[in-house]
Structure 1
Amino acid sequence: MLNRPNTALDALKPLLAALGKRFGVPALSAPAPQLLLPAPAALNEPTRAEQFLDIPIPDHSNDDAACQTTQSRGQFLARQDRWDELSAEIRSADEARDTTPGGMPIADLLAYGARSDVIHAVEHGLQDNLPVTHSTLTDGISGLEEVRAEYPQDPYIAMIVAHMHVDIAWAWRGTNWDPVVPKLNRARFAAHFDRASDIMQPYCFLELNSPSLAACCCALLAGKQIPGRRIADTYEDLIDLDPHNHRHMRALGNHMLPRWFGSYTDLELEARRTAARTQDIWGAGGYTWVCFDAIAIDDQACANVDVPFFLDGLHDIVAARPNQEMINLLAAYCAVAMRNGLGLNQDADLPRMQISDAASWLIRDHLTEVHPLIWAHAADGFDNNSRVTSSRRFAARGRADALQVIADMFQDEISQGLRVTFTPNGPKLAPG
Structure 2
Amino acid sequence: MRLLAQIADSRGADRPGALRMVMSLPNALANRLRRHRAPDVHSAVHAMTTEELSQRLTLTVIGGHPDRQDLAHHLKPSILDWQTQNWDNLGQRIARLDSLHAALPSGERVATALGQALFRHIIGPKVCQMIERGQSVTTSELPEQLFAPLARALAKSDTQPALHFLAAQFNLETGWARRGNDFTEFALEDAIFSAQARFRVARTILDHIASRAPHSAYFSELDYRVRAAEGTTEDELNRAALRWTRTDPKSLTPYAVHGQHLLPRWYGEETSLDTYACKVWSKTNETLGAAAYSACYLSAMEADPAVLLDYDPKTFRIGLIDMMQQSEDPDVTCNAILRALYEVSTEGFGIDGRETIALRRARKELRDTFCYLARNTLGPVMPDAWGRGWSETRILRALAEAFEDDIASGRHIAIGLDGAVVGEAA
TM-score range relative to shorter protein: 0.7 to 0.9
RMSD over aligned Cα atoms: 2.9
Shift of 1:294: 0.9
SS of the equivalent of 1:278 reads: helix
- Letter of the 1:246 counterpart: L
Give the 3-state SS of the residue equivalent to 2:316 in structure 1: helix
Per the alignment, residue 171 of structure 2 pairs with 165
1:166 is displaced (CA, Å) by: 1.0
Task: String of CA shifts for 1:37-61, please: whole Å, max 9, x gaps.
Answer: xxxxxxxxx9534232222111224
Change (3 A) 1:69 1:357: farther
Contact persistence 1:71–1:109 (CA under 8 A): no
Structure 1 residues 10-54: Cα deviation after superposition (integer angstroms, max 9, x where no partner): xxxxxxxxxxxxxxxxxxxxxxxxxxxxxxxxxxxx953423222
Q: Secondary structure at the match of 1:421?
A: strand
Q: Equivalent of 1:147, from 142, 153, 156? A: 153
Question: Can you list the C-alpha shifts for 1:102-147, whole angstroms capped at 9, x where unaligned?
Answer: 2121211222233223344655688899995537523313343223
1:334 aligned to 2:341?
A: yes
Show the counterpart of 1:354. Answer: 365
Checking the alignment, whether the CA contact within 8 Å between 2:134 and 2:181 is kept in structure 1 is no
Q: Hey, what's the Cα distance between the residues in 2 that align with 1:262 and 1:224?
A: 16
Aligned match for 1:405, one of 386, 398, 403:
398
Change (3 A) 1:125 1:54: closer
**Secondary structure at 1:236 match in 2:** helix
Paired residues of 1:281 and 1:320 also in contact (CA < 8 A): no
- How many residue pairs end up in the alignment? 369
Among residues 73, 83, 88, which one is paired with 1:84 in the alignment?
88
| CA distance in 1 between partners of 2:344 and 2:158 (Å) | 44
Q: 2:61 and 2:273 mapped to 1: Cα distance? A: 36
Matched, 1:246 2:257: no
8 Å CA contact retained: 1:73, 1:113: no
**Measured at CA, do residues 124 and 420 of structure 1 come closer, stay the same or move farther in structure 2, by a change above 3 Å?**
closer
Q: SS at 1:405's partner residue?
A: helix
1:374 aligns with: 385
Q: Distance in 2 between matches of 1:131 and 1:320?
A: 39
In structure 1, runs of 5+ residues without a counterpart are 1-45, 378-393
| Code of the aligned partner of 2:201 | R
Name the CA shift for 1:287/1:424 in 2 (closer, same or farther; >3 Å): same
Distance 1:139 1:272, change over 3 A: same
Runs of 5+ in structure 2 lacking a partner? 1-48
> Which residue in 2 is equivalent to 1:26?
none
* Alpha-carbon distance, 1:341 to partner: 3.8
Q: How many Å separate the matches in 2 of 1:129 and 1:60?
A: 27
Which deviates more, 119-128 or 336-345?
A: 119-128
8 Å contact kept, 1:122–1:168:
no
C-alpha separation in 1, matches of 2:90 and 2:156? 14
Greater share of residues in helix: 1
Query: d(CA) in 2 for partners of 1:197 and 1:234?
Result: 13
- Bigger relative contact order, structure 1 or 2 (CA pairs below 8 A, ≥6 apart): 2
SS in 1 for 2:155: helix
Query: Would you say the 8 A contact 2:199–2:229 is kept in 1?
Result: yes
- Determine the structure 1 residue equivalent to 2:415: 422
Q: CA deviation at 1:319?
A: 4.0
Which residue of structure 2 lines up, in the alignment, with residue 282 of structure 1? 288
What's the secondary structure of 1:179's corresponding residue?
coil
Counting aligned pairs with the same residue, the percent is 19
Cα shift readout 1:214-258 (whole Å, capped 9, x = no counterpart): 001111012333220110111011012212221221100111112
Match of 1:187 in 2: 193
Asked if the contact 2:151–2:167 (Cα under 8 Å) also holds between the matched residues in 1, the reply is yes
